[in-house]
Homo-oligomer: A and B are copies of this chain.
Amino acid sequence: MVARYELIADELRDEILSGAHPVGSQLPSEAELAERHGAARGTVRQAIAVLAAEGLVGSRQGARRIVLGRTRSQSFAELHSFAQWARANGYRFGGQVVAQRRRVSRGGEYTRLGSEEVLEVLRVRTLEGEPVLLERTVYAEWVAAAVERLPAGCESVTEALYESVGLVFAYGEHLIDAVPAGAQDSRLLGVRRGSPLLRQRRTTTTHEGRPVETSDDRYRAGSVAFSIRNSIGANPLVRQAGDLRFRAGEHMFES
């Protein structure tokens, strides 16, 4: 059963994306939309809230809503899953586990994951045949067994874990910065030592807030960029000073 406001949101989004409501133009008023769809004003407002969260429309009290753009920002699933993102954009991609071992948690891992024993996995991801991403992931003990059962060349860890144990990654926290490539980075990604890498450190939890994994992902410069669309009122982004949360130079596999 799809909610009514979602249907209305879909229809409005299509109209915007198709150009029926050009960028900069005014959207019909809530009352007009409500009448057209035979719905209450509150329902229409809910539909429009969806589009506003996507950054498609903006509004000010008293004035008609305005179309802001036609490029829709995508879902959290795509942010989290390299495979889903690559597939959605039609890229050839792959992945390979380079190293995998269990060990006791150290540093801030116990605080973040809540388990004494953890599973650490080192994966290289390729895009169009080129290695572009190095993932250093640490899994909490309760998912370790499921991760170990995955094949080394598993394309999408996110999807595989959903299918095998019904695990859904629901919430995430991300820190994005730039770092010079270390010895292992340069070897596995095929770049010079010290060349720039885009680093994304994340901690993911389930719906219930149960920590699943914490990861240090490094992208080759130029291969990918993070894109953010936001507006006043709907904005999950903040700049943070230096390394408040992760210790500088704390590498997971170096030793």
Contact = CB atoms under 8 A, between A and B. Distances in A.
Name the interface size band of chain A. Answer: 35 or more
A195 B197 contact: no
A77 B55 CA distance: 16
A251 to B, nearest CB: 15
Nearest to A53: B234
Interface in A219-252: 219, 221-243, 248
Q: How many copies does the complex hold?
A: 2
Given A221-B178, A242-B223, A237 B171 contact: no
A209 interface: yes
A58 interface: yes
A75 B31 CA distance: 30
A118 to B, nearest CB: 19
Given A60-B207, A75-B232, A227 B175 contact: yes
14 contacts: A69-B209, A74-B235, A79-B235, A171-B232, A177-B222, A178-B178, A179-B196, A224-B239, A224-B240, A224-B242, A226-B238, A230-B236, A236-B236, A237-B237
